[in-house]
A and B are shown apart, each in its own frame.
Chain A
Amino acid sequence: MVDKIIIENLSLQYADGVESLRGISLNIHEKAVTVLFGPAGGGKSTLLRCLNRLNDLTEVKTSSGRILIDGKNILEQDVDVIALRRRIGMVFARPVVLPLSIRGNLTYALELAGEKRRAKLDEAVERSLKLAALWEEVKDRLDDPAIALSGGQQQRLCLARSLALQPEVILLDEPTSGLDPISTGKVEFALQELKKEYTIILVPHSVQQAARTADYAAFFLQGELIEYGEGKSLFTAPKQKRTEDYITGRFG
């Protein structure tokens, strides 16, 4: 198993003191689903937002440690964050479609990256929609406003949008928290297909989803990494008492 991302002793504190990370070290494997789970405020989203440097938009008080992606520390000052974000796609908890057409949402990032060839753009639209299991539902109305889609379709569009750039890593922050079970099933199905090609890091919206989807799972509690291991063993035989308490529903 190749380690796509190596997180070394990562600590971070926001200026408003809401959430923080304390000494996180974690190796994330290529072409697998790694699940970050735990109660709210544990630092899962913060960790995701470190990986594509989205935290640059937030006021961070202190941070230390390293995040190596393919061996290069992405937290260094001289890193090209634009190029980084093109390699690391992200899907948010609430489906936020941009105020553009369905096609416009998918080609937005590519056009910004300088792709002008119509054929390339069309190909990316079709490919990413198919990967997100949305193609059949929208192929005849690509120029309709994206907002006209249902919530579940919008979230798959957001997934497709991050795939259009053919990123190496996909970050998903509770992508199904607002969706019905059928839409949730479609997104989870898409993830199982996607992991053949991509490195996926998922913050699930429930322990059940964590157990369903995880190849590897990391349990976060109040900014600390409590336990990390293969999904199968972690959810059936956790080593830490606190992990077990959380999984079995004793708190959280």
Chain B
Amino acid sequence: MKRALSINRHLTQRIGFTVITLMAVATVIPIVAVVIYIFLQGLPAISLEFLTGFPHDGMRAGGILPAIVGTLYLTVGTAIFSVPLGIAAAIYLAEYASDTPLTRTIRIAIINLAGIPSVVYGLFGLGLFVIFLNFGTSILAASLTLSIMTLPVIISTAEESLRSVPQAFRTVSISLGATRWQTIRRIVLKEALPGILTGVILGLERAAGETAPILFTGAAFFLPRLPQSPFDATMALPYHLFVISTQVPEMPIRIQYGTALVLLVFVLTMNLVATVIRSRARAKRQW
């Protein structure tokens, strides 16, 4: 009787582990499937002309250079606004702010900001940047809109990684006659930097792939030339993909998948960079 019970327990445990393992594997299947599918479908479209040429024949042929360049511009533009602001806010929240109603409100606002649907950001950007501030449908307006969307991600990951730096470093540094700011700049930021960078890249990656926020604020259906200034509208990969998938009749499916592949590679590369930074920093970490 006792023996049967123990065999039974082992069996139960084995079944349990098997189920859990299968579930873990199952979560990976969709992402792997998507990547493989897009690669297989998109790869035939990739050529030098596709990556460096302009679209022609009503976008049914040619390349997607303006969309690639546009996405680069938008990503850099978003970084210019969101990175300094986000890190500064994180430093304030993690290092200076005490627990007051004001800081609690700021934190709640940040959390809620992250939950707003991206199309709402788009409308907000249209109202504030495009119309009220009169930036027009432009890279500037789109970058600012994407920045607002990205800020919560950057602030919360940066705050988290600042907080994970041991308090003892700060105490020691202060006891050696450092000011609070010197301590932050020379010790805390240095240690938190990999975590902050990871957050920044993940935030920008999301910005690079978004369609809705740029829909009304900066994205162009088609442009015969590259944007010349921040006040120009621009083509962008996600919006271009949307356009050629739904708005252009008799679109060769090859080009759609080619565009999707370029966007996917762009985003996955950023992801890879973030992963490398994180694992390198973890190996080097001294605490």
Interface residues of A (CB under 8 A from B): 52, 54, 57, 82-83, 85-86, 89-90, 92, 94, 96, 98-99, 108-109, 112-113, 145, 147, 158, 161-162, 165
Contact = CB atoms under 8 A, between A and B. Distances in A.
Contacts of A89: 175
12 contacts: A52-B175, A98-B172, A99-B187, A99-B191, A99-B287, A108-B173, A108-B178, A109-B177, A109-B178, A113-B177, A145-B286, A158-B172
A99 B286 CA distance: 6
Give the bracket for the number of chain B residues in contact with chain A: 10 to 19
A81 to B, nearest CB: 9
Contact of B176 (A57, A85, A94): A85
Contacts, number: 60
B279 interface: no
B174 interface: yes
Contacts of B283: none
Nearest to A146: B286
Contacts of A57: 171, 174
A54 B174 contact: yes
Nearest to B169: A98
Given A92-B168, A94-B168, A82 B173 contact: no
Given A113-B177, A147-B286, A161-B176, A98 B182 contact: no
Nearest to A52: B175
Interface in B148-188: 166, 168-169, 171-179, 182, 186-187
A85 B174 contact: yes
Shortest 8 CB-CB contacts between residues of A and residues of B: A109-B176, A86-B177, A147-B286, A96-B168, A85-B177, A90-B175, A99-B286, A96-B172
For the residues of A in contact with B, the DSSP-based class is: helix
Contact of A82 (B171, B172, B179, B186): B179
A17 B177 CA distance: 28
A165 B174 CA distance: 14
- Kindly name the residue among A92, A99, A165 whose own CB sees the greatest number of chain B CB atoms within 10 A: A99
B168 A112 contact: no
Contacts of B104: none
A108 to B, nearest CB: 6
Given A82-B179, A147-B286, A96 B169 contact: yes
B190 interface: yes
B91 to A, nearest CB: 17
Contacts of A83: 177
- Kindly name the residue among B176, B179, B286, B287 whose own CB sees the greatest number of chain A CB atoms within 10 A: B176
Contacts of B187: 98-99
A158 B177 CA distance: 14
B14 to A, nearest CB: 42
A73 to B, nearest CB: 20
Contacts of B176: 85-86, 108-109, 112, 161-162, 165
A59 B175 CA distance: 17
B171 A92 contact: yes
B10 to A, nearest CB: 43
A164 to B, nearest CB: 9
- Kindly name the residue among A90, A92, A98, A161 whose own CB sees the greatest number of chain B CB atoms within 10 A: A98
A249 to B, nearest CB: 32
